[in-house]
């Protein structure tokens, strides 16, 4: 079998001839022509996409029409369909909201009489529905009896770009920024449309263009006009633009003497700036804000609260329908000596004091995008304030664009975590009790229910992913890093999807529908996250990476200007043991979780071993459930992580005849680098901790 080289630019929108003979026959019989209703820019995008995809997948010409035809695939809004006599039941259309879509296929006397309809209430949702239908064809699904009604669980699904105005990307590992600010607004790179096309295909509807550590120039008229040009390019794809703002802009740009959000002159300045933005970008989404964190100025500099700062901005945005995404990534250890507790202590007293259009934006865990963290205790603690979940697609702490680490499982673990917000009588006082059936448990209160707004009855909802895109031809640096961009979009749309199902889908779209390829790659992907944890930070270890760039191991680092920037602060290894004591007799971080979860975490015998060192200081000779001592188990985990990378390398090598040479060679080289780095992690960490054991 001879395969042509591919460069990965097409991502999961990689249309190829259907190589399943039965499915090809079915598709050819069912799709003789397509009709796309409407004259909008979005309708034209749908026409182009169908014209691009269908002739290739069906291996024959497929006319794309703009007039009704009884024997065709028909795509249009509910209102447009009415004009040609096609009626969508009112309840169905109402349930779709602005973003949902319907795909139905009505089989008549034979497959050749099949009528397929893709409908939505808005043109952008119709585009998402069209992409979903093409995905069915790409993955060889049966289309004879489709009855799909799909609506996103989370309203705002945003990619956040930590891109700087000079073209660099903070925590970017795939080249430079996609946004060429020097050429904007006059030059619109075709790649902007390809970026928006990829986002729309997985339901992403927002993009925050600039770094959370924002440059004041981003709010100047010059740069707002550049942002407006991008907004114009993205709008037909249903994607709205957001901006990270510099809190100090009133002084730096406005010439004021203060940035105090309570000052009427500051509020007036923000109102004028917001009005200017909406004149240029009528559908502007809002601001993402990082303050009083890692040297950034903020309301605390003036004795004001986070709510004071957020609400001043919210008041300016509210008349236009904009929102504030106020990041909870704050860790002033003057608030608490345990960095993991700081955000909770700062934000819980402010619950109910934020304006209605403010989200508190919370990372998945309480430290900082580590390979594994327990879910952030703010999920389940703030009830009157909607929370936006912040995930990191770019692998800052997980091998960056060198390591193959599929993050679908990480995000599902967080989304599926039970906050136990409504206490039950179930106790976790002993291992025996923790293993008993939870007969008295109430319905789960998952993090996903906090994020989608359903648990506390919030009308708006938001999830944000820190993007991993750049100017590399394959977009993400590593061909497999594309899977995390894809998984973020799919989970943002439907957080009940499984990591397995998303991986299966992405593999078929990106690599092959060959069952041998799908099975082999899925084995690699589904085991890769746990392997990364094992060779980096097993059993609840965290923050062992090298300073600044965060790549590679350095457990002994202890030269930072403040204690909580040192790795030894987090693991506290010595001759007696290892781990951060966050029990009630330690920092008491466990008490930020609801009962009975706090009791489970607090008890070393019931604490999940994946979080053991996060919550407990463990003696080296403590015996784990495996029967091994803690030190033996730590060695076992590091060895298991390296062994799985070796297995991934061997699996990938076995696929060489079934993968195009260029992409196979690229991934092979990355896997060799990953294996070398995994072995380094094992050697450095076991050597360091071993000296503690032997001391």
Place of tokens 């970017």: 172
**DSSP code of 349?**
G
Identify whether 49 is a catalytic site residue.
no
**Sign of the alpha-carbon torsion through 668, 673, 678, 680:** positive
Tell me the C-alpha distance between 635 and 617, whole Å: 17
Please list the alpha-helical segments (H only) found in 301-363: 306-317, 342-347
Distance CA 217, CA 224 (A): 9
The residue from 71, 294, 621, 650 that is catalytic is: 294
- Among candidate residues 10, 368, 416, 494, the one labeled active-site is 368
Spatial separation of the C-alpha atoms in residues 139 and 511, rounded to whole Å: 11
Cα angle 273, 276, 282; round to 5: 125
Confirm whether 609 is a catalytic residue.
no
Nearest to 428 by CA among 624, 617, 604: 604
Mutual orientation of helices 41-58 and 123-138 as an angle, nearest 10°?
A: 10
Distance (Å, rounded) from C-alpha 113 to C-alpha 29? 8
Mark whether 368 is an active-site residue: yes
Judge residue 104's burial from the number of C-beta atoms within 10 Å of its C-beta, 0-12 exposed, 13-18 middle, 19 or more buried: middle
Residue pair 291/297 in contact by the 8 Å Cβ criterion: yes
Q: Are strands 73-77 and 34-36 parallel, antiparallel or unpaired?
A: parallel
| Angular region, 292: left φ>0, alpha ψ -120 to 50, beta rest | left
Torsion of CA 60, 64, 67, 69, to 10 degrees: 30
Task: Quickly list H helices, 59-160.
Answer: 78-82, 90-96, 123-138
Structure tokens at 263: 């000052």
Q: Which residues are catalytic?
A: 294, 368, 396
């Amino acid at each position: 079998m001879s395969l042509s080289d591919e460069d990965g630019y097409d991502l999961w929108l990689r249309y190829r001839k259907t190589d399943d003979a039965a499915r090809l026959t079915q598709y050819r019989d069912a799709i003789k022509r397509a009709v796309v209703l409407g004259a909008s820019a979005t309708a034209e995008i749908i026409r182009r996409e169908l014209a691009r995809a269908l002739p290739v997948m069906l291996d024959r010409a497929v006319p794309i029409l703009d007039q009704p035809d009884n024997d065709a695939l028909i795509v249009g809004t509910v209102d447009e369909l009415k004009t040609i006599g096609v009626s969508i039941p009112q309840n169905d259309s109402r349930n779709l909201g602005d973003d949902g879509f319907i795909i139905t296929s009505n089989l008549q006397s034979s497959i050749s009489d099949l009528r397929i309809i893709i409908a939505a209430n808005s043109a952008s949702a119709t585009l998402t529905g069209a992409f979903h239908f093409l995905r069915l064809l790409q993955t060889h699904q049966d289309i004879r009896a489709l009855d799909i009604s799909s609506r996103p669980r989370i309203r705002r699904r945003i990619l956040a770009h930590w891109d700087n105005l000079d073209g660099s990307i903070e925590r970017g590992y795939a080249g430079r920024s996609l946004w060429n600010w020097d050429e904007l607004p006059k030059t619109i790179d075709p790649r902007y449309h390809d970026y928006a096309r990829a986002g729309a295909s997985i339901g992403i509807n927002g993009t925050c263009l600039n770094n959370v550590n924002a440059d004041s120039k981003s709010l100047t008229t010059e740069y707002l006009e550049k942002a407006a040009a991008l907004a114009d390019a993205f709008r037909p794809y249903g994607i709205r633009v957001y901006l990270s703002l510099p809190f100090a802009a009133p002084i730096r740009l406005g010439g004021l003497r203060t940035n105090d959000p309570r000052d009427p002159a500051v509020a007036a300045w923000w109102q004028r700036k917001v009005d200017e933005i909406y004149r240029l970008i009528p559908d502007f989404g809002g601001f993402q804000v990082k303050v009083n964190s890692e040297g950034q100025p903020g309301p605390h500099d003036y004795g004001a609260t986070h709510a004071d700062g957020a609400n001043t901005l919210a008041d300016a945005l509210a008349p236009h329908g904009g929102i504030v995404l106020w990041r909870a990534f704050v860790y002033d250890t003057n608030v608490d000596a345990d960095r993991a507790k700081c955000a909770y202590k700062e934000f819980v007293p402010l619950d109910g004091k934020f304006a209605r259009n403010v989200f508190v934006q919370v990372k998945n865990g309480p430290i900082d995008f580590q390979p594994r963290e327990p879910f952030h205790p703010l999920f389940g603690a703030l009830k009157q304030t909607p929370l936006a979940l912040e995930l990191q697609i770019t692998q800052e702490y997980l091998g960056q664009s060198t390591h193959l680490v599929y993050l679908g499982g990480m995000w599902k673990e967080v989304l599926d975590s039970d906050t136990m917000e409504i206490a039950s009588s179930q106790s976790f006082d002993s291992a025996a009790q923790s293993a008993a059936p939870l007969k008295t448990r109430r319905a789960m209160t998952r993090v996903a229910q906090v994020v989608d707004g359903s648990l506390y009855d919030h009308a708006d909802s938001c999830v944000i992913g820190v993007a991993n895109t750049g100017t590399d031809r394959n977009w993400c640096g590593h061909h497999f890093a594309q899977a995390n961009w894809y998984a973020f979009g799919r989970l943002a749309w439907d957080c009940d999807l499984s990591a397995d199902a998303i991986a299966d889908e992405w593999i078929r779209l990106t690599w092959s529908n060959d069952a041998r390829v799908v099975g082999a790659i899925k084995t690699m992907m589904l085991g890769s996250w746990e392997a990364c944890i094992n060779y980096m930070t097993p059993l609840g270890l965290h923050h062992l990476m090298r300073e600044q760039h965060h790549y590679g191991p350095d457990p002994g680092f202890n030269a930072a200007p403040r204690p909580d920037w040192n790795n030894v602060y987090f693991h506290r290894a010595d001759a007696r043991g290892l781990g951060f004591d966050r029990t009630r007799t330690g920092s008491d971080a466990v008490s930020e979780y609801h009962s009975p979860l706090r009791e489970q975490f607090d008890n070393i015998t019931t604490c999940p071993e994946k979080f053991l060192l996060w919550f407990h200081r463990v003696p080296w000779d403590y015996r784990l459930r495996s029967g091994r001592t803690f030190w033996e188990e730590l060695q076992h985990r590091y060895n298991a992580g390296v062994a799985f990378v070796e297995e991934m390398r061997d699996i990938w090598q076995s696929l060489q005849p079934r993968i195009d040479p260029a992409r196979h060679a690229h991934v092979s080289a990355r896997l060799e680098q990953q294996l070398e780095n995994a072995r380094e992690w094992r050697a450095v960490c076991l050597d360091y901790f071993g000296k503690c054991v032997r001391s």
